[in-house]
Amino acid sequence: MSSSCSYQLAGDHGYLHLHLPDRKVNVLCAELLDGLEKLMSEIEQAPPKLLAIVSDKDACFIAGADLQEIAKLKSREDFLQAAERGQRLFNRLAQLPSTTIALIDGVCLGGGLELALACDIRWVSDSAKTQLGLPEVNLGFIPGWGGTQRLPRQIGILKALPMILAGKSIDGRRALKTGLAERCFASENFLNRCLEELKNIPKKSHRKNNWQTRLMSTSLGLQFLANRARKDVMKRSKGHYPAPLKAIEVISKGLKLPMADALQMERQSFAELASSAVSQQLVRLFHLGENNKRSGGPGPGESFANLSHSAVLGAGVMGGGIAALLSLKGSHVRMKDINWQGISSGYSAAARVYQERVKRKSMSRQEMDQAMLRIGGCLDFSGFKDSQLVIEAVLEKMEVKQKVLLECESHLHEKSIICTNTSALSVSTMASVLNRPERFCGLHFFNPVHRMPLVEVISHPGSDPQVIQQLMHWVRKWGKTPVLVRDVPGFLVNRILLPYMVEAANMVEEGWNPISIDRIMEHFGMPMGPFMLADEVGLDVGAKVAHILREGYGPRMEASSLLDRMVEHKLLGRKGDGGFYTEHKKQKILNPAFKKLHGGNFREPDANEVIHRLLFIMINEACRCLEEGVVDSAANLDLAMIMGTGYPPFRGGPCATADTMGLPMILHKLEGWSSMHPERYRPANLLKQIVAEGKTLTAPGGQEL
């Protein structure tokens, strides 16, 4: 079968099979759309009594639109055309006199669900892989093939609105409950069962909405609902993401319009959003994430071991958090510390993570007890003999780490992998004291472990590539994003983030108002401003990393003396008695102790000036990292910064931001500043080179540096 779809008639039953060639899944690419359009004309000639749409792919109905093709679209006009084409096709499907039914066993997302919604009836399987949803808002646009109109008309606005706004999918059983599907069958013999049931052609369903939904579908109800949803979205997105807001508008207005008008409004909004810069960054980010997930899989004939037994050294906040993660993913974890008090704090840290899940109902109390039971605290190395992986998270002191790692190594199986979770210390220096340095590398988790998706996997010259591959695989299995980086001081994320923090401190020392700087950066999209972040992390931790970087990179990483003075005066941030800020009547105010230390008198900075100074120094350092091969691509660099520091996703990461702002302007600014501080601002060679060649750091949708 080389065609993308085929049509068979058996009596008064027509079967439309989807089987896009050379792909694991069906996507609504040009080829499949061509095929469907052709078949639709054929079917319209002689419509059968019943038309069933079936996918021949394993565990997939239709995964959605083809994102590769979307990435090639540029202008608003392109997107408008794409939307029109799909809408026209689905309208034809909806207007067929036949009873149309989608038989869904597997992924049914985006355009796939929009197609299914154009059918009269949907039957689903109960497989965990059967997922129905409209995830478009996550990519910065809204469903454009009728989804915003047909979903609320099918299941009621009360259920449709959150589904579209969160972009989350639901499984077969939930689909049945919400009324998105009419029947749900066992996945194992799904098709046979459907065919059996289809002998009697089912009636088109006319759902009766309940009184709440009917109430909310009145003009007043819609207005109320839209207002509430808008407030909710603004709270979460701070207005940086236009897609959900647009979705609310299109859904609430569309319900009162005739279908044709509603669809026109939908595709106009879709085209506007999909061609926006925000959407392009989010689509790129989605691709980066997918590439990260897909790359580094086992080669043919290879397979990675399951992590069934692991161990953590040091049961502090990090150790406890890592143990909680490993146990949650089914591994039995030994958790060693030097006293029971330490182990107790590790257990508490893990229990807190689980309790949060129990509260959210994503875990039952029994599951929590079992996960806790998989963690075994110990003072000795008991049970380490079985560990496939040991993650060390003890005190950040080179001598201590070397001693602990060496001692631990002697208790391990020779195939065990041993890792250090350090935020700045040299992995190579640790490796130098070990007997099996090839089975050792860095695994840098970010705090809090259960929230931060990034894990830096740090190789050193002696590490075994297979060990690295195995680790990348495990990190992905834990639901985290691994980024492979070279062993340089600060690794990737801290090395780029620290200059930003230091520059912010420099600005305050020059007399600019820290509250305004924080506000400007939050407005830019950062989850919190640099000073708020410094308080969260702890100024002592920040100062320590700053010194390590100063040692490694020389005067360009010279930390502001303000930080050291604050640490001296015990202004450590949130964990102490406040840092830049302190709490007063549950409100964050500027810490009087910090004001006294600084001297007071703040000037109001210019927003552009703040953004330029804080970002360009970061971008410059990012260029150096690319130049030195700390990370393999601008793509992974951007991904790491977004996943590891909360760099605003809609800005696409430092490299993408740099390209958007214009590299020549950035270079010009840096050169200007470097006349005053040559060490601090000297532009990276790579930056100069790229500007000279007229290139960019990133290339959306295509091959990246």
Min CB(323)–other proteins separation in Å: 11
The contact mask relative to other proteins for 274-313 (x = CB under 8 A, - = no) is: ----------------------------------------
| Cβ distance to other proteins smaller for residue 374 or 495 | 374
Residue 29 in tokens: 């690419």
377 is an interface residue for other proteins by CB under 8 A: yes
383 is an interface residue for other proteins by CB under 8 A: yes
What DSSP assignment string belongs to 480-529? -EEEEEE--TTTTHHHHHHHHHHHHHHHHHTTB-HHHHHHHHHHHT-SS-
| Residues contacting residue 143 through CB under 8 Å, at least 6 positions apart | 110, 114, 134, 136, 151, 164, 266, 270
- Which one of residues 47, 289, 376, 448 is an interface residue with other proteins (CB under 8 A)? 376
- Which one of residues 56, 126, 232, 386 is an interface residue with other proteins (CB under 8 A)? 386
Helix (H, G, I), strand (E, B) or coil at 599: coil
Which positions are annotated as active-site residues?
444
347 is an interface residue for other proteins by CB under 8 A: yes
The contact mask relative to other proteins for 146-185 (x = CB under 8 A, - = no) is: ----------------------------------------
Size of the site for other proteins (CB under 8 A): 24
The contact mask relative to other proteins for 354-373 (x = CB under 8 A, - = no) is: -x-------------xx-xx
Alpha-carbon distances, residue 297 vs 302, 504, 704 (angstroms): 9, 41, 21
Min CB(376)–other proteins separation in Å: 5
450 is an interface residue for other proteins by CB under 8 A: no
Strands 440-445 and 454-459: antiparallel
What are the residue ranges of helices labelled H in 238-298? 242-254, 259-274, 277-294
Min CB(369)–other proteins separation in Å: 6
User: Nearest-CA neighbor of 511 among 592, 601, 445?
Assistant: 601
Is-contact 184 173, C-beta < 8 A?
Answer: yes
Query: Exposure pattern of 242-254 as b/e (b: 16+ CB <10 Å)?
Result: bbbbbbbbbbbbb
Beta strands in 564-647, from DSSP E residues, in sequence order: 581-584, 587-590
Cα Rg, the chain, nearest whole Å: 28
| Cβ distance to other proteins smaller for residue 159 or 450 | 450
User: What is the distance between the alpha carbons of residues 139 and 274, in angstroms, rounded to a whole number?
Assistant: 8
Alpha-carbon distances, residue 647 vs 211, 283, 384, 533, 705 (angstroms): 44, 16, 38, 12, 20
| Cβ distance to other proteins smaller for residue 162 or 330 | 330
Strand order of the sheet with strand 309-313? 375-378, 332-336, 309-313, 389-392, 417-420, 440-445, 454-459, 481-486
Min CB(348)–other proteins separation in Å: 5
| Residues contacting residue 687 through CB under 8 Å, at least 6 positions apart | 619, 620, 623, 663, 666, 667, 670
Segment contacting other proteins (CB under 8 A): 110-118, 149-157, 239-247, 381-389? 381-389
| Cβ distance to other proteins smaller for residue 295 or 306 | 306
| Cβ distance to other proteins smaller for residue 354 or 531 | 354
480 is an interface residue for other proteins by CB under 8 A: no
Min CB(377)–other proteins separation in Å: 6
Phi, psi dihedral angles at 600 (to 5 degrees): 95, -135
Count of Cβ atoms closer than 10 Å to residue 305 Cβ? 11
User: What is the distance between the alpha carbons of residues 313 and 403, in angstroms, rounded to a whole number?
Assistant: 12
351 is an interface residue for other proteins by CB under 8 A: yes
- Which one of residues 378, 515, 593, 699 is an interface residue with other proteins (CB under 8 A)? 378
Min CB(439)–other proteins separation in Å: 21
Min CB(382)–other proteins separation in Å: 4
Residue 261 in tokens: 């008008």
Min CB(314)–other proteins separation in Å: 16
| Cβ distance to other proteins smaller for residue 24 or 365 | 365
Strands 170-171 and 121-125: unpaired
Min CB(291)–other proteins separation in Å: 36
What DSSP assignment string belongs to 306-338? P--EEEEE--SHHHHHHHHHHHHTT-EEEEE-S
Min CB(667)–other proteins separation in Å: 54
Segment contacting other proteins (CB under 8 A): 7-15, 95-103, 350-358, 663-671? 350-358
| Cβ distance to other proteins smaller for residue 30 or 379 | 379
Q: Is the peptide bond before 448 cis (omega within 30 degrees of 0)?
A: yes
| Cβ distance to other proteins smaller for residue 45 or 341 | 341
192 is an interface residue for other proteins by CB under 8 A: no
Residues of this chain, 532-561, that bind other proteins according to CB under 8 A: none
- Which one of residues 344, 447, 660, 674 is an interface residue with other proteins (CB under 8 A)? 344
| Cβ distance to other proteins smaller for residue 377 or 437 | 377
| Cβ distance to other proteins smaller for residue 121 or 350 | 350
Query: Exposure pattern of 615-635 as b/e (b: 16+ CB <10 Å)?
Result: bbbbbbbbbbbbeeebbebbb
Strands 170-171 and 131-133: antiparallel
Min CB(631)–other proteins separation in Å: 37
Helix (H, G, I), strand (E, B) or coil at 210: coil
What DSSP assignment string belongs to 420-471? E--SSS-HHHHHTT-S-GGGEEEEEE-SSTTT--EEEEEE-TT--HHHHHHH
| Cβ distance to other proteins smaller for residue 27 or 343 | 343
Residues that bind other proteins (CB under 8 A): 332, 334, 340-341, 343-344, 347-348, 350-352, 355, 369-370, 372-378, 382-383, 386
